[in-house]
Amino acid sequence: MASTWVPDVSPDTPFSLANIPFGIVSSSADPAPHAAIAIGIHVLDLKALSSHATFHDVFPALKNHPGIFSKPTLNEFAALGRPVHREIRKTIQDLLSSETSRPEALKDNAELREKALLSQRNVKMHLPMNIGDYTDFYAGFHHAYSVGALFRGPQKALQPNYTHLPVGYHGRASSIVVSGTPIKRPVGQIIIDPTAEPKQPTTAPSRRLDIELELGCFISTPNEMGSSIKVTDAEDHIFGYVILNDWSARDIQTWEYIPLGPFNGKNFATTISPWVVLADALDPFRTKCLDNWTPLQPYLNENKKESIFDIELQVDLITPQGDATTISTTSSKYLMWSFPQMIAHHSLGGCPMRTGDILGTGTISGPTPNEKGSLLELSEGGKKDVMLYGMDVRRFLKDGDTVVMRGICGKPGEKVGFGDCVGRILAATPVQ
């Protein structure tokens, strides 16, 4: 990968020239949300870039899409499909390369650089997509096994269907927020005394507020209702990826989930990282799914052996006092099901996937104690303290706690990352 002429691009930045993630920003100079990409500590304002007279000569694929980077979301760009995304990303890489073939387009144009190359500190990040639907899967094998073992014992940890299909449920898209948005502790029905019979719930703030470390996938191009997406074609329907924290109120979830699954225990908030890493940027980091010992139905059989990614994932917990502790380090390689398999299964019955829909992997955990992607696992169901810096402890989240999730892959100078996925817990609204 060539170097960039953009100043102050550290070898350790997750926004190297090898990345070029897309997001939606606003600034004091232009408060209307619009498209940008991240490079080092800067953003390249694509709306400002597209205002230049030579823009359509540099980006011929966008000639019939005027103002596409002035939109408040990336949906219209995503809907153009992966070949266009690939061409635009490569062109931006060329414009930002030290050896660019078009220096006059940006590198040597001081006036345009002044307008288009901004500090990340001077922009506000917004939700990158207009999200119509959200589906959360359960593809993390080690999480599924360890949580199942907590409640059903090791012999019955996995449900009989787990290795036959990617288990999922429909989540709530309206409560998906961009990194940095505060998260209010939810209120719901909970059981105070689990030993009492009959069970008697009370309505109160959740006492077992948790995190779920996930990878999210945005859909680019749709399928028609009544049709399905082949697993071998599913890659063409993927726009890009984000880090996703599906906040979970375990006590609300425990009481409500039988027989239809999660509801208020999940629908109050989901946080995503601000930058969408395009599918092509993660191609070098492909790896094989965890072995599945069950023969699959033909529609789930992939031709590719390497259909998931080896992304280094990290979760930090920052207390109200400002003390930070890394509570988990794991990898996205610990998935049994790939996104193409999730898409193929999701659309099998004719469900129409739409541009901007997001799929979550479910919690990603590894096999060792320090690789767990939820406090439910780290605390062994709330029975064990998770040690924090300064002799503080947690079993679940307290008001004022901040959770920071990160994902990164690649070597220095060529790192690919998503930006921080951050949420701070606020006190619940008093029960009326």
Q: What residues are annotated to the active site?
A: 143
Q: Which residues pair with 358 in a beta bridge?
A: 134, 218
Q: How many Cα atoms within 13 Å fall on the side-chain side of residue 56?
A: 8
- Round to whole Å and give the CA distance between 376 and 45: 41
Residue 343 backbone zone (phi > 0: left; psi -120 to 50: alpha; other: beta):
alpha
- Round to whole Å and give the CA distance between 309 and 328: 18
3-class SS string, the chain = CCCECCCCCCCCCCECCCCCCEEEEEECCCCCCEEEEEECCEEEEHHHHHCCCCHHHHCHHHCCCCCHHHCCCCHHHHCCCHHHHHHHHHHHHHHHECCCCCHHHCCCCHHHHHHHEEEHHHEEEECCCCCCCEEEECCEHHHHHHHHHHHHCHHHCCCCCCCCCCCEEECCHHHEEECCCCEECCEEEEECCCCCCCCCEEEEECCCEECCEEEEEEECCCCCCCCCCCCCCHHHHEEEEEEEECCEEHHHHHHHCCCCCCCCCCCCCEEECCCEEEHHHHHHHEECCCCCCCCCCHHHCCCCCCCEECCEEEEEEECCCCCEEEEEEEECCCECCCHHHHHHHHCCCCCCCCCCCEEECCCCCCCCHHHCCCHHHHCCCCCCCEECHHHCEECCCCCCCEEEEEEEECCCCCCEECCCEEEEEECCCCCC
- Round to whole Å and give the CA distance between 215 and 360: 6
- Round to whole Å and give the CA distance between 356 and 376: 30
Residue 31: how many other CB atoms lie within 10 Å: 9
